[in-house]
Structure 1
Amino acid sequence: MRTIGEIAAELGIDAHVLRHWEKVGALSVRRDSHGHRVYEDEDVERVRTVAKLRRIGLSLPEIIAAMAPSKADAQAVVRRKIGQLEAERARTDQAITFLQHTVDCRHRYLDECPECADFARKP
């Protein structure tokens, strides 16, 4: 059993973040007879999971749903996030392609380049 301070230090997460995650329902941590949070090994693994899901871009409501007991509900959330990330990746790939073209472009000004103009017209 470990304290919130120990877990926060171990995982590099501020204690107030762990308290917030508990407040919104992403974590549920047992308290001792003095009201202090007591983290068991399974609680620590859940904290690690929540932290990883936050790092990859899930919001706390998405994390709560993704960790729901219903596998179908969890999968739906994850599938939506995959779709969002794939769309973001497509936008990033387009931006890299455009920027790489501007680096290699033979035109002095971008507005003189037909390829740059085509790219600028795309949504």
Structure 2
Amino acid sequence: MTIGEVAAELGVEAHVLRHWENVGALTVRRDGNGYRIYDDSALEQARTVLKLRRVGLSLPEVTAAMSPKKSAAQVVVRAKIAALQNEVAHRQQAITFLRHTVECRHRYLDDCPDCATFVRGA
């Protein structure tokens, strides 16, 4: 497949694929004229990069997560899981706070001890 065909299939721009290749997240063979050739392996690798990007990994994290050494990849993935869990906890606290503000009997949040506790803890 050509870079344009792969880009269309994945729903990304061709420059994104070139960038992934430039930073080492994607390896693509070239033909005798220097054109990129996306075989099944390169296409699957590009799909993996896209999936990892969509779940929030940066390109350096993607590159590390695709390391041939499973232990190295696991370190990166575990760190991302911990970061996402922390983010979920913070978002849940924000939801709890916002729900309270909707139901709060105080006109101003500064007058509410529960709101003040949340702000100090945030």
Query: Quick one: which amino acid aligns to residue 116 of structure 1?
Result: C
1:78 equivalenced with 2:85 (yes/no): no
User: Residue deviations 1:42-92, cap 9 Å, x none?
Assistant: 211111110111111111111111110111101011111111111111111
**Matches of 1:106 and 1:41 in 2, distance apart?**
61
Alignment TM-score, normalising by the size of structure 2: 0.96
**Matches of 2:34 and 2:89 in 1, distance apart?**
48
Which segments of 5 or more consecutive residues in structure 2 lack a partner in the other structure?
Answer: none
1:98 equivalenced with 2:97 (yes/no): yes
Per-residue deviation at 1:26? 0.3
Alignment of 1:59-70 (within 5 A): 59-70=58-69
2:3: which partner in 1? 4
Which segments of 5 or more consecutive residues in structure 1 lack a partner in the other structure?
Answer: none
**Matches of 1:89 and 1:56 in 2, distance apart?**
13
**Matches of 1:84 and 1:32 in 2, distance apart?**
41
**Matches of 1:71 and 1:48 in 2, distance apart?**
19
Alignment TM-score, normalising by the size of structure 1: 0.96
Deviating above 3 A after TM superposition, structure 1's stretches of 4 or more consecutive aligned residues are: none
**Matches of 1:44 and 1:95 in 2, distance apart?**
40
**Matches of 1:105 and 1:73 in 2, distance apart?**
48
**Matches of 1:92 and 1:48 in 2, distance apart?**
29
Residue 119 of structure 1 aligns to a residue whose secondary structure is: helix
Percent identity among equivalent residues? 66
2:21: which partner in 1? 22
